[in-house]
Amino acid sequence: MKYILLVILLCVTQLACLEKSRKIEVMADKFSPLIPNDTSVQYFSQDTTSGSYGSWTDDILFKLREPVLKKYTGRGEFIRFIWLRSFENPIVIRVNKFTDTIYANIKEFDISSEQKGIIKDTIINLGAKDWNDFVGTLTKNGFWNNPSENPSDAKDGVIWYLESSVGRHYKLVEGWDGGRLTSHLLRSYLDPLIYFANEYVDLSTKKARYRK
């Protein structure tokens, strides 16, 4: 009986720690000095993408007040997932690691004619285990060496980008998904991040929801 109570106590303690580590915070984004004021800014180098959706992507990221990170040389590290649905709100999930803090930004832009603007801009405090899980999944599945998919012929669905800098190693890949989050690259790189993000924002499309 004592053993069972001890196990229950440990489980409750771990859940409490997890809840605390993922607390929504009111804090400044440390990458905010890199948010551009020029609407003509290009977020990605031309030689790293197919270029088919570049201007649309730049426009969305600018409206979401995202930083330009392609030439960042500071000590921070990041993983940025950009989810651009054809007829639904675009979403950006950015996980950031600095010496003294690890946190996630989750942003959503309303594309409806009635509102149009940022409807979600949340910062969530994370722990080292979260960061290690996200980075470990990228490394395990060859993110740093694999090429992008070519979404140039894609029509309806979702264009997505995964941009990361870890250990001063920068990489950007782009891909296309039919709306069911079934792209092989997408699933292999981002399963843990998508599960985490779904706690705070709806990544589903009208076609389907993400399932493990």
Alpha helix ranges (H) inside the chain = 2-21, 54-63, 128-140, 184-197
137 HSE (CA, 13 A, CB side)? 19
In the chain, where the domains are located? 25-197
- Write down the architecture of domain 25-197 according to CATH: 2-Layer Sandwich (3.30)
Q: What is the pLDDT of residue 5?
A: 46
Is the separation of the CB atoms in 124 and 104 below 8 Å? Answer: yes
Q: What is the per-residue DSSP string for 115-152?
A: S-EEEEEEEEE--HHHHHHHHHHHHHTTTTTPPPP--T
- 125 with 115: CB under 8 angstroms? no
> Residue 105: CA atoms inside 13 Å, Cβ hemisphere, count?
24
Tens digit of pLDDT at every position of the chain (212 positions): 555 544 444 444 444 444 444 677 768 899 999 999 999 999 998 766 766 677 889 999 999 999 999 999 999 999 999 999 888 899 999 999 999 999 999 999 998 866 679 999 999 999 999 999 999 999 999 999 988 776 656 567 788 999 999 998 999 998 888 877 778 888 899 999 999 999 999 887 775 545 44
Distance separating alpha carbons of residues 88 and 19, to the nearest angstrom: 30
Angle at 67 between CA 62 and CA 197, to 5 degrees: 90
Q: Which amino acid is at 105?
A: N
pLDDT at 21: 47
Q: How many residues can be counted in the chain?
A: 212
Q: Which two tokens stand for residue 151?
A: 């979404």
- What is the C-alpha R_g of the chain? 18
